[in-house]
Amino acid sequence: MFPEAGMENYGFYCLSGGGGHHFAVLAVNVIPDLHLIETGQFFPRFTYEKLDDSSGPSDPQGTFDLTDGRVSGDTVVNGYRRIDNISDDALQRYQAAFGDGVTKDDIFASIYALLHSELYRSTYAADLKRQLPQISLPDTAEDFRKFVEAGEQLLELHIRYEEQPEYSLGEEAVFGDTDDLDFYRVQKLRWGGKSRTPNKTQIVVNDNITLTGIPDEAHEYMLGSRSALEWILDRYQVKTDKDSGIVNDPSDWGLEHGNPRYIVDLIKKITYVSVETVKIVNSLPKLTLRK
């Protein structure tokens, strides 16, 4: 999937069937942890196959840019054949249903959107707990195009989440030196309020700063049984490995890269991604699914 540094790819991770867990799907452009949420599988857009000398000359200048969009056929990149994981048979099926203008990128994007559809998830809820998703086609070419557009937007949001705008959250800060590297240091994120009655419009970063104004929609974007923000609260805390004694401090990355506000900014970006994801999913067409 990612044979060498600098050779780009993308795809989506989704939970494997059989675990009985809430369904989740997430696009990434890096090697995924197959236990990211629970045990899952990764479906890459492309597969790379090493060429031998008898396979023909390679193109040492070849590049793969996700933004170029409409690639068809296999391409040679740095001595590897890039194989399109959308088969020609699948392309023919979609073109027969929705017109000759359908591309393999369209299909991939539409599937990613479909897997976010509340109608799809509720219709196949029992199946999704036992097996991998089965893909149904939308009713009309118009609906298909809406799924393509939504899928492209979702892929961009989820893959490039760190490049998204920051949602406008309030910052309640105590008097202190914001230039102090420890001002934003995180020990354990938590919701506002009390543990038994949390206020989920707030995230307490530390004793110095609390983020306020988190909208209800931000909690509707679910990755399995937790919202994206709940995953942030769970993972971004100082932990010490019992065996090695190694301390995992989530603040270190930001400090090493000259941005002590990194976690604060990340929360704002994930809030934006969550709200926009919910808007896109709610805009998906209501359709009768067919296999």
Assign 3-state DSSP to the chain and report helix, strand, coil percentages, each to 5.
35, 20, 45
The pLDDT of residue 40 is 84
Give the whole-angstrom CA distance, residue 173 versus residue 17: 45
Question: With pLDDT > 70 as the criterion, what percentage of the chain qualifies?
Answer: 90
> In the predicted model, what is the mean pLDDT of residues 120-140?
88
Instruction: Report the DSSP pairing between strands 190-193 and 239-240.
Output: unpaired
For 19-44, how does the pLDDT look when each residue is reduced to its tens digit (9 = 90+)? 667 889 999 999 888 777 778 889 99
**Residue among 290, 45, 284, 9 at smallest CA distance from 148:** 284
Measured distance CA(32)–CA(2) in Å, rounded: 11
- Tell me what the mean pLDDT of segment 151-156 comes to: 98
Q: What span, in angstroms and rounded, lies between the C-alpha atoms of 66 and 68?
A: 6
Q: Could you report the per-residue pLDDT of 72-124, keeping only the tens digit for each?
A: 456 887 788 889 999 999 999 999 999 999 999 999 999 999 999 999 999 88
Residue matched to tokens 């899928």? 151
Which band of pLDDT confidence, cut at 50, 70 and 90, is reported for residue 233? very high
What ranges do the domains of the chain cover?
A: 11-159, 170-280
pTM, entire model: 0.87
- Range of weakest confidence among 31-40, 67-76, 159-168, 247-256: 67-76
Is the pLDDT assigned to residue 70 strictly greater than 90? no
pLDDT at 290: 57
Rounded to whole angstroms, the Cα distance separating 112 from 108 reads 6
Kindly report, residue by residue over 168-183, the tens digit of the pLDDT. 999 998 877 888 888 9
Cβ atoms < 10 Å from Cβ of 121:
18
